[in-house]
Amino acid sequence: MGGGETVIVFSDLHMTPGPPGAGPDPAARFSAGLSHALDTHPRAALVLLCGDLADRGDAASYRRLRDALDGCPVPVMPMLGNHDDRAAFRAVFPEVPVDGDGFVQRVVPLGAYRLIVLDTLVVPRPGEPFTHAGELCPRRLAWLDHALGEAGAAPCVVALHHPPHPTGFAAMDAIRLRDGDAFHDLLARHGTVRHIVSGHIHRTISGSHRGTPFSIFKSPMRQMPLLYDGADSSVECDDPPAFGILTLHADGVLVQTEDFAAP
């Protein structure tokens, strides 16, 4: 493979309003990772932030993320995850495009490819308990159907925070994308998606589901240990922080992950 567009992927930043009282500082971790990513990939086409930008979805944390991105020489595409708040995010990042229903979704042309970025943050409904699971409601699925149709025969990469299929970790599978079957039905109908990118699990996982390859990336923060049957989705370990690297070639998608030194 030669040439191709490179996308740097950071997922699960979990930004806080300031340095936490204990544990790693999300801003310091992200800044160190971004600096390393730009040093090693100065000609990257895009930095993709794959959801859970803020730990509690507050405006102060989004402002701290904005400060960390100040001066970044590469275009940045933020996405939303279950820890985010759509209104607070849009107040701090008003320039980030949204679809006609206000969801943080868009199509990014990258050479011959189309990167389709989805918003899987649940819309709260009266009487429903809070969930960390993700959703693609009928409006978002219809948007994805249209985006894939508009892409025609162009190869596509779809990015969403929540994995749209089981990964073998019981606690995280309980809060994966709850519309995964409908999502994969759409992909099968169009047949042009070459790769799926997700976060959420704080662990490097790759494979394929229903014939479509996928990659799930680690976090700049703490990681999920190898506990398949655990019931606690918040359990963490101090494995090294990391980011992902996608290179979109004429012949396919090359995926790498890079650990970096924690400050």
Question: Which residue, 205, 206, 203, 163, is CA-closest to 183?
Answer: 163
- Cβ atoms of 233 and 172 within 8 Å: the answer is yes
Of the pLDDT bands very low, low, confident and very high (cuts 50, 70, 90), residue 99 is very high
For residues 236 and 186, give the distance between their C-alpha atoms in angstroms, rounded to a whole number.
34
Domains observed in the chain: 5-259 (3.60.21.10)
For residues 169 and 223, give the distance between their C-alpha atoms in angstroms, rounded to a whole number.
13
pLDDT for res 21: 83
Residue 2 has pLDDT above 90, yes or no: no
Of the pLDDT bands very low, low, confident and very high (cuts 50, 70, 90), residue 1 is very low
- Cβ atoms of 7 and 253 within 8 Å: the answer is no
152-176: pLDDT as tens digits:
999 999 999 999 999 999 999 999 9
- Residue with the two structure tokens 């490179």: 6
Least confident piece of the model among 74-88, 101-115, 118-132, 202-216: 118-132
